[in-house]
Amino acid sequence: MYFDIAMPLTLFATTTIAVLAFEKVEKKLKKAFEEKEFQVKDAILLVAMITATVSVMAFIPQMAIIILFLLAYSLLFFIFTYIFSDFKKALAKLVSEAFFAVSFLIATTSLFTLFPVNTLVAYGAAALYCLCGFSFIAAIYEEDRLHKGERWYLAAMPSTLFVLLYVFFNRTPLWFPYLQNVYGLIFAVLIVLYLGSLFTWKTSLVFAGLLTVADIVLVLVTGSMVSAATHVSGLRLPILVILPTLPQVVTEEGALFMSLGLGDFFFAGLLALQAYKKFGKNFAFLSSAAMASSFFIYEMFILNFGVRVFPGTLMIITGWTPVALLKYLKDRKVAKMGVEKL
């Protein structure tokens, strides 16, 4: 019997990290969004937009998709970093020095290891050396910086590094599968934190229910999700996390890899985040474990019965719903007993 623990553990780790990070950034994000929250109509509109986008994705030129995703990801990086860039001068200087070191290391290493294979790497190395110079200037500027507040130049560094790595190195072993998966998981956590603070318990339930139905239709009925994934999979954008099975499953076609979209990671993270906001951190971890366990069971079914595609949202929400319902009923019963005693 085939089974896999790599993707379920990754799903659990990602949702857990999102919950732990939300504890640290919740107040800051609420302040940045001015305490705004999604209404039910906003959740419905978001599901409609996702459905429409997936349905037409296969007909959009690949270059347009690349530009769209690079713009969206770089803006997400910039905005998120900018919001939290008002930290102490010593830390800002350390961040600048870290980007200097990372950019220099990647540029220099790539010239010695990847240049004979791909001449485009030389341009990428040159661009990374420019980022080194920018980071060096930022570190010097921090020494004499007097005013406080957000720093646009710090916010620009992660976005620039991401774009340069993708544009110049996406066809090298440096990018796939390592950096592609790393960036995919980073973006999954950032999206959960960025949008999760806007959702309430009610809007999350509406969103999760509608998105699960939409996902089932798009995957099993119309096949639009499969067509969209096929259309963009060769672009090596960090919209899919692709992992080898653990333990390794080998077929006639070779070692088997499992993939899960960022939307599914966001879906699981949102449910875990709402569980945290509604019932506390311990239950959030329990719900994350339940979602990972449900995903494990479904994935075992997929591996042993040759199913090629299956709605990820259904695999996730099947684990979350029972524990959330039991928790809700238990708390309601406890509250009722307390009222009766009074």
pLDDT along the chain (342 residues), means of 10: 93 95 85 81 94 91 93 92 87 93 92 70 92 94 82 93 93 87 94 89 95 95 90 90 90 85 94 93 95 96 88 96 92 73 54
Residue 325 buriedness (CB in 10 A; 0-12 / 13-18 / 19+)? exposed
The dihedral region occupied by 118, where left means phi > 0, alpha psi between -120 and 50, and beta the remainder, is beta
**Total residues belonging to the chain:** 342
Q: What is the pLDDT of residue 115?
A: 54
Q: What is the 3-state secondary structure (H, E, C) of the chain?
A: CCCCCHHHHHHHHHHHHHHHHHHHHHHHHHHHCCCCCCCHHHHHHHHHHHHHHHHHHCCCCHHHHHHHHHHHHHHHHHHHHHHCCCCCHHHHHHHHHHHHHHHHHHHHHHHHHCCCCCCHHHHHHHHHHHHHHHHHHHHHHHHHCCCCCCCHHHHHHHHHHHHHHHHHHCCCCCHHHHHHHHHHHHHHHHHHHHHHCCCCHHHHHHHHHHHHHHHHHHHHHCCHHHHHHHHHHCCCCCCEEEEECCCCCEECCEECEEEEEHHHHHHHHHHHHHHHHHHCHHHHHHHHHHHHHHHHHHHHHHHHHCCCCCCHHHHHHHHHHHHHHHHHHHHHHHHHHHHHHC
Burial class of residue 125, CB neighbours in 10 A (0-12, 13-18, 19+): buried
DSSP bridge pairs for 242: 259
Please give the pLDDT value at position 235.
92
Residue 88 is encoded by which pair of tokens? 């102490």
Q: What is the C-alpha to C-alpha distance for residues 206 and 44, in angstroms, rounded to an integer?
A: 7
CA dist 143 to 11, 134, 147, 250, Å? 41, 15, 12, 56
Residue with tokens 């030129």: 61
HSE (CB half, 13 Å, CA atoms) of 318? Answer: 15
> What pLDDT, on a 0 to 100 scale, did the predictor assign at position 339?
59
Judge residue 152's burial from the number of C-beta atoms within 10 Å of its C-beta, 0-12 exposed, 13-18 middle, 19 or more buried.
exposed
If one counts every other C-beta atom within 10 angstroms of the C-beta of residue 312, the result is 24
**Phi and psi at residue 199, in whole multiples of 5°?**
-90, 145
CB count, 10 Å around CB of 60?
A: 14
- The label of the residue with tokens 């070779």 reads 254
| Closest to 245 in 3D by CA, of 13, 15, 1, 18 | 1
Provide the residue type at 250 as one letter.
V
238 and 262 in contact (C-beta within 8 Å)? Answer: yes
Closest to 80 in 3D by CA, of 237, 187, 183? 187
